[in-house]
Amino acid sequence: MSTFDRIQEKRSQKRMRFLKKIAILSFICSSFVAIYFLLCQPWFSFGRVYITGVQQISRQDILSLTGLKEPVNLFLVDKKNIEHILANDLRIKKADVYYELPNVLHINITEETPLFYAKSNYGFVSVNNDCVVIGATKNIKDALAPVVTGISSGNSFVGDRLAGLETNFAKDFLDALDAGSRSKVSELNITGGKAKIFDLAGRPYIIGEMSEAGKKAAAFCAIIKEITEKNLAVEFVDLSYSKPYIKIKQQQPQTR
């Protein structure tokens, strides 16, 4: 074989090896495209949705808000979009969305808790720390927050903001209570410009004029702590004076 023929043969071999590499690369790329196309089909659904943290919001509400239907195609899920949709719901404070092996989309909800409940024309509304209505119901089914009586939200719906001197005082007073003291409040009544609290045992605490909400909240926290620690049999408490007055129940004489 001449030198020219050997050179031509080597060139031919190089060309064949190059074409083989191109063919293999094209096959790999086509395979990836085909697999991606397959995985992104709506009918290629195999995932489950696991929802935690919800008490007041139903699972169906979460699925309806996000547009998720089980089984779900995890390759088509936009986690950031789901978090954005849920975060815009007034009932939800925060939403974390992440994957769990092998095929679970986990949605963890932190619900917005009400500061108080108020009467409405159709039942009750739950109101948050910004005086925004975050829920509406015919009856109160839990004890997550005290009821504020003496004010009415009228025809307010979810998303509406309540206003007024009574509402603002209720918000400022309850918001200033620590969690332990607030959990012992059953009702805050505001009538004629004056406020009164009833604890879970039904004992009244006279707050007085709607002023200095923070100062009066601190006084109530101190009194409720003292009553709890000393296990006092209290008839009522008057916090409208500079020095709180505690009326102790008189013990009934024992009969033989």
- Strand spans (E) along 103-210: 104-111, 116-120, 123-127, 133-137, 147-152, 185-191, 194-199, 204-209
Per-residue pLDDT, 216: 93
pLDDT for 174? 96
**Phi/psi at 42 (5° precision):** -55, -30
Q: Report the alpha-carbon angle 206-112-124, nearest 5.
A: 55
pLDDT, one tens digit for every residue, the chain (256 residues) = 566 566 666 667 777 777 777 777 776 776 565 555 555 555 556 789 999 998 888 899 999 999 998 888 887 888 999 999 999 998 899 999 999 988 899 999 999 889 999 999 989 999 999 999 998 888 887 778 999 999 888 888 888 999 999 999 999 999 999 999 999 999 999 999 999 999 998 999 999 999 999 999 999 999 999 888 888 888 889 988 878 888 887 765 555 5
Question: What is the rounded CA–CA span in Å between residue 203 and residue 206?
Answer: 10
What 8-state DSSP symbol labels residue 86? H
Q: Taking the chain, what is the end-to-end CA distance rounded to the nearest angstrom?
A: 135
Q: What tokens appear for 80 in the block? A: 């950031």
Q: Nearest-5° angle of CA 155, CA 157, CA 160?
A: 105
Cis peptide before 42 (omega within 30 of 0): no
What residues are paired with 247 via a beta bridge? 236
The SS3 assignment for 134 reads strand
Supply the pLDDT for residue 109: 94
Helix (H) or strand (E) holding 98: strand 92-100
How far is it, in rounded angstroms, from Cα 128 to Cα 78?
A: 29
Q: Which long-range contacts (CB under 8 A, 24 or more apart) does 83-90 make?
A: 86/62, 89/65, 90/128, 90/132, 90/133, 90/134, 90/158, 90/159
**pTM, entire model:** 0.70
Respond yes or no on whether the N-terminal peptide bond of residue 244 is cis (omega within 30° of 0): no
**What was the pLDDT predicted at 148?**
95
Tokens of 139: 């009856």
| Sequence-distant contacts of 36-39: CB under 8 A, at least 24 apart | 39/73, 39/75
CB 166 within 8 A of CB 118: no
Report the SS3 class of residue 219. helix
